[in-house]
Structure 1
Amino acid sequence: MSDPLETGEAVGLPPARPAVDPQAGPAVDPQAGPTVDPQAGPTVDPQAGLTVDPQAGLTVDPQVGPATTVGGLGVRPVINASATLTMLGGSLMPAPVLKAMNDAAAQFVDLDELHTRVGERLAELTHNEAAYVTCGAAAAITLTVAACITDQAQAFPVDTEVVMFASQRNGYDYGVQLTGARIVEIGPSVDELRAVLTRKPACVLWFAGTHFAAGALAVEDVAGVAAEAGVPVIVDAAAQIPPVSTLWRFTRDVGADALILSGGKGLRGPQASGLVLGRRWVVDRCRLHASPNQDIGRGMKVGKEELLGLLAAVEWTLEQDEATVLAGYERIVDNWIRGLQGMPGVIVTRGYPSEAGQPHSRAVVRLSTTSGWTRDDLVSALWDGDPRIAVGTFRMPDDAIALNPQTLEPGEDEKVLEALVGLLSSGNGEQAG
């Protein structure tokens, strides 16, 4: 059975409402529940358990809430023991971020002015020359590559080259190709890097993370060689928080010209936000190519809510005691290991680092044939259970899952453990699948 996280399995929605005749008023299927008299107002079917707000005309199921909530739409919330995955919503925003976004939503502003002020504050907080908020890390790839190509507006597509290590090619290549640039692959050789830089490509794009390290030169070597050749370096470190030092290490310490981060992963900001940090000239050109200008980034719009939300997220992140946060993750992993040890056919160990190289552990659960479960059946059973639970399979063996503490709310680690103990005790993966 396939992993629901890979297939994007659809979630069932409530049945469609019956059609309305504008002359006669709403016509309602009597099997479906309450009927509405347009003159007298709504009536309530006591069997359906619906209540009606007479002012708003909304029907509310007290079990799930209004139709504008996740539950009201028939979408089940997820306990995320996997990672800060986009398909699961990234991360959960803390209260200061929600407040900042709510405040921004309540007023009009000069968006360019707000963009500038937010960028100045983010640059100050992160020890960078300049900063720019984008509508996600993928958009930031396009904008930073565009910045390295030209300072001319409406110039794209441009026939030029961007250098990448062959081992780091990935699904975000399209962010480069949108500019018209061609990707030139190289191997992990300083001589090969020096040779390709003589062709004066627009930039070198380097991806951070343990899953990108094999087959590539270290970023310190790349930055040094590229600086000698006068070719800018962009580092994509979208998921590399923690540690918070990522905010300045690649630019201030290593010498990359631009750093790309996701706003909605480790920073716990708005999911539809990203961050470019680095040289002022890169940020100035990103602004030129981005919305609201009629350029390659016009469709990559950032709202005032994302601007203030991401600023609040960075401020909040820097206020946290990272050592305490990471120690809390380790305690959760310890608890998982203790709770799952001794389960029949199960081997549970500590996996370090986390899925993209973040400096904390995960619990790795391996299943033998005597467990009665296949990996895919267990993943599906957790996903289909109550509560719905997502676990990690990225870069795991076919017989293993990973449990990540980073994305859990207080108390959810115990719910994950309870669900796993219940399923593994049954030893009936065929039935669960």
Structure 2
Amino acid sequence: MANYEDLGVKRIINAAGTYTKFGGSLIPSEIIEAMEDASHSFVDIDELLQKSGEYIARCLNVEAALVTAGAAAGLTLSAAACIAGSEPKCIKALPNSEGMKNEFIIMRCHRNPYDQALIMAGAKLIEVGNAIETHLYEVEGAINEKTVGIVFFIQSEMLEASLSLKEIITIAQDKNIKVIVDAAGELPPIENLVKFVKMGADIVLFSGGKDIRGPQSSGLMVGKKDIVEICRLHGYPHHAIGRPMKLDKETIMGLVRAIELYLKEDHQQRIKKWEEQVEYLKKGLDNIPYIQVFSGYPTQPLTQPATIPRVYVKFNEKTLGMTKEDIAQKLYEGNPRIATVVEKNYLTLNPHMLASGEEKLVLEKIKEIIKKN
């Protein structure tokens, strides 16, 4: 059986976070077992999606849930459902949304590469506000007869220019339009699984392969029953805009099991582990010449969630003769390969996906690079 080494692919020590490009997270053995069990039988996929959604909704005590092929796929299905509804003729027409209500309001400070997941369903994004501020009257003034919803990315609520989700929901409910919330990487805290729905959002999207640690290609949609059911009609296995976003039975059952485990997990113990890893790295780096180190939490959106502590390292690049980018690259090209995050002013170490003990290897390799230089 070929493994990563046989293919010439390096394994990674992940001090960056739940990045999709690094595989998101590591799947616990109990979830692999659930996926393996699912692989032995044929089932009706549409029935499985319905029943798994009902089961997850009961577990979370929300109106409705749906397993999706990742959070980005959930954005596409959400936009499609808001635009075309359950009308077969309209479902078949997408992404051509001509003649339909297809406008979604989005704050300028919420624009990001995932806009494309909305646009591919036929959505027209109407931008409001600017890089410095957004006013309620700008959102209200953008609503017209073609408006179907407002899109809100939780990570962007950290920005000064953003209105709060509560303000957006209040406007949307007053105007009878939908609110789609992207919370893909916003776990922990576990309370976020239901928080935004209980605030009044119509659809909330999470990655199944980040902190939940389900299959990387899975996502979770929770929300109001009427619109979540319409989202299902736009997805696989139906011949609609979501048909290419295929979900196998193993992935669906894997996410179901992942959620069961996630709800039982000791999240305080996980936080304690991260804090200890951060403290170890900070103390170890404090004694190295030509660098400044501090620990803290993100204040700008980048690697979510902002609830996990980080180590921020600033190098005297002139004295060392290396930039933070150089050091990050050396870590990535080393053996073992170590992934970190390069921010505007710092090299950032995130313990979220570090196994116990891996923080020691990260510290050792940083010291080694600086010493060699």
Question: TM-score band, normalised by the shorter chain?
Answer: over 0.9
Q: Structure 1's 310 and 392: CA in aligned 2 closer, same or farther, altered over 3 A?
A: same
Match of 1:405 in 2: 351
Q: Which residue identity does 1:152 align to in structure 2?
A: E
1:136-285 maps to which residues of 2 (within 5 A)? 136-149=70-83, 150-153=85-88, 154-156=92-94, 157-159=96-98, 160-187=102-129, 188-209=134-155, 213-252=159-198, 254-285=199-230
Q: Which residue identity does 1:78 align to in structure 2?
A: I
Is contact 2:80-2:122 (8 Å) kept? no
Q: Which residue identity does 2:364 align to in structure 1?
A: E
CA distance in 2, matches of 1:392, 1:274: 24
Q: Which residue identity does 1:155 align to in structure 2?
A: A
Please give the per-residue CA displacement for 1:331-370, whole angstroms capped at 9, x wherever unaligned.
1000000111120101110021483243121011110122
Is contact 1:200-1:231 (8 Å) kept? no
Q: Structure 1's 210 and 198: CA in aligned 2 closer, same or farther, altered over 3 A?
A: closer
Is contact 1:346-1:371 (8 Å) kept? no
Choose from 286, 295, 298 the match for 1:341.
286
1:125 aligns with 2:125: no
Choose from 350, 363, 366 the match for 2:311.
363
Q: Which residue identity does 2:357 align to in structure 1?
A: G
The structure whose residues are more often helix, as a share, is: 2
Contiguous gaps of at least 5 residues in structure 1 = 1-65, 429-433
Match of 1:301 in 2: 246
Q: Which residue identity does 2:336 align to in structure 1?
A: P
Task: Give the TM-score, by structure 2 length.
Answer: 0.92
CA distance in 2, matches of 1:79, 1:166: 35
Is contact 1:129-1:279 (8 Å) kept? yes
CA distance in 1, matches of 2:197, 2:143: 20
Matched position secondary structure for 1:202: strand
CA distance in 2, matches of 1:142, 1:417: 41
Please give the per-residue CA displacement for 1:104-135, whole angstroms capped at 9, x wherever unaligned.
11221121221112101111122210001111
How far the C-alpha of 1:211 sits from its partner, in A, is 7.2
Match of 2:366 in 1: 420
Q: Which segment is superposed worse, 123-132 or 238-247? A: 123-132
Is contact 1:136-1:262 (8 Å) kept? yes
How far the C-alpha of 1:377 sits from its partner, in A, is 1.1
CA distance in 2, matches of 1:192, 1:111: 43
How far the C-alpha of 1:419 sits from its partner, in A, is 0.8
Contiguous gaps of at least 5 residues in structure 2 = none
How far the C-alpha of 1:371 sits from its partner, in A, is 3.1
Matched position secondary structure for 2:93: coil
Is contact 1:119-1:133 (8 Å) kept? yes
Matched position secondary structure for 2:125: strand
Choose from 289, 310, 326 the match for 1:377.
326
Match of 1:6 in 2: none
Task: Give the TM-score, by structure 1 length.
Answer: 0.80
CA distance in 1, matches of 2:307, 2:216: 22
Q: Which residue identity does 2:97 align to in structure 1?
A: V
Matched position secondary structure for 1:185: strand
Q: Which residue identity does 1:389 align to in structure 2?
A: I
Q: Which residue identity does 1:262 align to in structure 2?
A: S
CA distance in 1, matches of 2:218, 2:126: 28
Q: Decide which structure has the larger Cα Rg and report it.
A: 1
How far the C-alpha of 1:373 sits from its partner, in A, is 2.3
CA distance in 1, matches of 2:175, 2:261: 39
Alignment: residue pair count: 357
Choose from 53, 65, 80 the match for 2:14.
80
Q: Which residue identity does 1:275 align to in structure 2?
A: L
CA distance in 1, matches of 2:339, 2:228: 37
Match of 1:323 in 2: 268
- CA RMSD, Structure 1 to Structure 2 (Å): 1.4
